[in-house]
Chains A and B, each alone.
Chain A
């Protein structure tokens, strides 16, 4: 199917090696677009494309969710001297699928005094927010649902919407633990949103663009974490910390803090509705990690070193999608590492960390970066 559409010989630049052309998904998507245009009107083309993209993203979403749950359980098991899931399928890889079926068939327990409309709405808001964010992420060259010119802003804005779902879930459950969890989560996400935004702005200054594809393209000569001197590195660390906090994970999982609040805002949820929260948590982690990979680690760009042509050729040969996934999972692994080794922070310490440390550091960092770019001192 793929090979039928991509005609290697008709590629515009013949000088490139064949794999570079093959790795460029824009020709593929253009082909699909034009063939659909020939078959039907503009309106129906849009509908059809939306459907295709929707189904693909949905599939990808489910796959990534399942895989991340499995990965987390394995990573955590190895950090805790355990084996982790190892019964269902080889190395337990079908364990999460079995869990999914369990969650699908479980009873959805109705809560008597809950605000049932908001209670049912909340998981969807959470999951839709993470859905929307995934649309703007470039997986490989030409492989993204939409390439907005304000991509960075869009992703930050949309992923922050999830907190509304969390707040609604906590409020509508009519459970005291849930409410505390939701309030904590609200305070936490609103605060850490600042740091996430500012640390990305540092890179936006360096890249001179908010379009994610352009940010990636600007890293062809070197990833921003290497190009941007120390400020870029500081921004990366701050981004890692604050994004972990924003996804309610790791040492910042105060919203669910099971030793204090049983399960926080999703205490009262069961079955598939609980699974939505669970899935959204992992997808949010994926989104955050992929933004980190895109903005700091060069997205789908291979790792190239100056004039080492042989080395660079080998690196170029690795498909961009693999590069992208590899970097993303590296960041995800770091986040899992955080979670399974650190004790949890307290709410006041959490906010102190943000407002008294990360935010000032970030502001100064932005200034330094702006100065560096102004003087042209970056690589």
Chain B
């Protein structure tokens, strides 16, 4: 008992340190934030990560390229398809394989569907972080519809593993186009409901406007990409800057804001859902005929060298850096995961705000923990 009293009085900082996580409702996974508080005000946030580190980069060094696909699914499980695409694009680039348009278009549609479902889940959980529990069910209700489309075509709902080096695992389901069009029609009607429930709410505006401001300079310096970066005015959409798959053939606009607060990170994602629907609509009727996969050698060996491929996942820029020594498995694989980098800014932008704002800021960065830990 005496010891306890002593601790309290000798603590010069008079800081109140709490552990948010590893098991905490608002960290969406096993992220541990050591938060120093002064009253309700956050003094510093120290992220402690690694609770679900699986050593994917090390594992990749001992498996073949087609096998890597099944590991990248499990990094950012909400943009599983885009992660796979990144690896496939790197391998195809290294082998200089010409990919037919059909594959490119299907990959793009799939990527955009993945982006929408990821943002839906983000919206659902962000609403929950702010205390609006109803949002969660609205978001998940619509996400199911996309997952059903995935299930029909890919045979799996979340961890799709639909890509493989050289194309796709299987052709699209005959219903695919019809169902995607049905979904777009449905979701165009339902998305304004999201605004009614959350975006238009006065309490939500109060909670999010001006909270967690990130300047353009800091966004670039911290390397914050994805909707979080674009809300600060950082033009970082890889789909525009280094187009891959079918993105060079379609028209879409990059969502950019300058304010960089929680509210604009939110609006950026909502707008991105609209933009993704536009992209899908441009492509869904024009899927060219052709094979769904290019014939590849049974054992894929990349020529010696270094290959880097950037793609835009739902959370930001994913980079795949493969160093090959000519063997059937890579010498070194590095995944530049967007969440890992986005997490690093949390301390910078959450400092000085209330503990409730920390939750809102964390939610608006849209962190997926397995992608941080890889």
Residue numbers of A with Cβ under 8 A of B are: 76, 79-82, 176-177, 180, 184, 251, 253-254, 257-260, 262, 340-349
A348→B355 CA distance, assembly (Å): 11
Contact B129 A259 (CB under 8 A): yes
- Residues from chain B with a CB closer than 8 A to the CB of A180 are 18, 37, 40, 355
- Residues from chain A with a CB closer than 8 A to the CB of B354 are 346-348
Contact B203 A345 (CB under 8 A): yes
15 A-B pairs within 8 Å (CB atoms) are namely A76-B134, A177-B18, A180-B37, A180-B355, A253-B131, A259-B25, A260-B26, A340-B133, A341-B132, A343-B127, A343-B132, A343-B207, A346-B206, A346-B207, A349-B207
Contact B356 A257 (CB under 8 A): yes
Q: Which of A80, A176, A184, A343 is in CB contact (< 8 Å) with B201? A: A343
Which single residue of chain A is at the shortest CB-CB distance from B141? A81
Contact B25 A262 (CB under 8 A): yes
Contact B203 A251 (CB under 8 A): yes
Which single residue of chain A is at the shortest CB-CB distance from B16? A176
Contact B130 A259 (CB under 8 A): yes
Contacts A80-B133, A341-B134, A346-B357 supplied; 7 other A-B pairs, CB < 8 Å: A81-B137, A257-B131, A259-B130, A343-B132, A344-B207, A347-B356, A348-B40
- Residues from chain A with a CB closer than 8 A to the CB of B16 are 176
B175-234 residues with Cβ-Cβ distance < 8 A to A are 197-198, 201, 203-204, 206-207
- Residues from chain A with a CB closer than 8 A to the CB of B340 are none
B253 interface residue per 8 A CB criterion:
no
- Residues from chain A with a CB closer than 8 A to the CB of B206 are 345-346, 349
B100-142 residues with Cβ-Cβ distance < 8 A to A are 127-134, 136-138, 141
Q: Mark B19-61, 1 if CB is under 8 A from A, else 0.
A: 0000011100000000001001000000000000000000000
Contact B137 A343 (CB under 8 A): no
Main secondary structure of the interface of A (DSSP, over half): helix
Which single residue of chain B is at the shortest CB-CB distance from A80? B137
Contact B138 A81 (CB under 8 A): yes
Q: Which of B37, B136, B138, B201 is in CB contact (< 8 Å) with A342? A: B201
Known contacts A81-B138, A81-B141, A260-B355; A343 and B25 CB within 8 A of each other = no
Contact A343 B356 (CB under 8 A): no
B242-283 residues with Cβ-Cβ distance < 8 A to A are none
Which single residue of chain A is at the shortest CB-CB distance from B362? A259
Contact B355 A343 (CB under 8 A): no
Contact B25 A340 (CB under 8 A): no
- Residues from chain B with a CB closer than 8 A to the CB of A258 are 25
Residue numbers of B with Cβ under 8 A of A are: 16-18, 24-26, 37, 40, 127-134, 136-138, 141, 197-198, 201, 203-204, 206-207, 354-357, 359
- Residues from chain B with a CB closer than 8 A to the CB of A177 are 18
A49→B24 CA distance, assembly (Å): 50
Q: Which of B128, B129, B131, B137 is in CB contact (< 8 Å) with A82? A: B137
Contact A343 B203 (CB under 8 A): yes
- Residues from chain A with a CB closer than 8 A to the CB of B356 are 254, 257, 260, 344, 346-347
Contact B26 A343 (CB under 8 A): no
A244 to chain B minimum Cβ distance, whole angstroms, is 13
- Residues from chain B with a CB closer than 8 A to the CB of A262 are 24-25
A259→B138 CA distance, assembly (Å): 18
B82 to chain A minimum Cβ distance, whole angstroms, is 28
- Residues from chain A with a CB closer than 8 A to the CB of B197 are 341
A345→B128 CA distance, assembly (Å): 13
List of 6 A-B pairs having minimum Cβ-Cβ separation, nearest first: A344-B131, A343-B130, A80-B137, A343-B132, A259-B26, A346-B356
- Residues from chain A with a CB closer than 8 A to the CB of B141 are 81
A308→B157 CA distance, assembly (Å): 63
B317 to chain A minimum Cβ distance, whole angstroms, is 28
A344→B37 CA distance, assembly (Å): 20
B210 to chain A minimum Cβ distance, whole angstroms, is 12
A124 to chain B minimum Cβ distance, whole angstroms, is 25
- Residues from chain B with a CB closer than 8 A to the CB of A349 are 203, 206-207
- Residues from chain A with a CB closer than 8 A to the CB of B128 are 259
Q: Which of A176, A184, A251 is in CB contact (< 8 Å) with B18? A: A176
Q: Which of B40, B201, B359 is in CB contact (< 8 Å) with A259? A: B359
Known contacts A342-B201, A342-B203, A349-B206; A79 and B134 CB within 8 A of each other = yes
- Residues from chain B with a CB closer than 8 A to the CB of A259 are 25-26, 128-131, 359
- Residues from chain B with a CB closer than 8 A to the CB of A81 are 137-138, 141
